[in-house]
Amino acid sequence: MQIKSLKNLALVTVASGLLSTCAIPPELQAKMDEYARTIPTCSGNADCQRKWSLARAWVEANSDFTIRGESDTRIMATSNIISTSGMGVVVTRVAANGGDQITVDLECFAAYGCPNIWDSKLDFNQAVNSANN
């Protein structure tokens, strides 16, 4: 009986440890919430073109890769070469709530990670939303 109790205790301890590593730090959660709250929106052709132009300029200035594909609804600056490192960017424009949303997805092609992904996503939102000023 003693061994079974020790096994159960060990399982509970390991499970608790694994679950605690999945918790999102409050600072990161705040950035994620701010990103979601500030996703750029546009309505009307002039507004959407102005913001799409700002999104494209941000991609050119911040992606480690050149734009490989572009349309009215998607800008893609990523790498298809596994040995290349850096941050890739995909911007998507989708219909939402009577207008459009312009979202950014950042892809990390670095062995040691890209620690500032959420800061960069917030910077994207701020840059595109600057068209409102």
Domain ranges for the chain, please list them. 25-132
Q: What is the pLDDT of residues 22-42, one digit of tens each?
A: 788 999 999 999 999 999 999
The pair of three-digit structure tokens given for residue 64, joined into one six-digit string = 């480690």
Helix/strand/coil percent split, the chain, to 5: 50, 25, 30
* Residues 6 or more apart whose Cβ sits within 8 Å of residue 121: 31, 35, 104, 106
Query: Comparing 12-21, 22-31, 56-65, 105-114, which segment has the lowest mean pLDDT?
Result: 12-21
Give the confidence band of 13 by pLDDT, cuts at 50, 70, 90: low
Which residue, among 85, 75, 27, 20, has the nearest Cα to 51 in the 3D structure?
Answer: 75
The residue among 108, 76, 112 whose CA lies nearest residue 92 is 76
- When comparing pLDDT for 95 and 98, which is higher? 95
Class for domain 25-132, per CATH? alpha beta
For residue 24, the 8-state DSSP code is P
Least reliable range by pLDDT among 83-87, 89-93, 104-108: 83-87
5 band by pLDDT with thresholds 50, 70 and 90:
low
- pTM for the model stands at 0.80
* Interval 60-85: pLDDT, tens: 999 999 999 999 999 999 987 777 78
Q: Where are the alpha helices (DSSP H) in the chain?
A: 2-21, 26-37, 45-62, 117-129
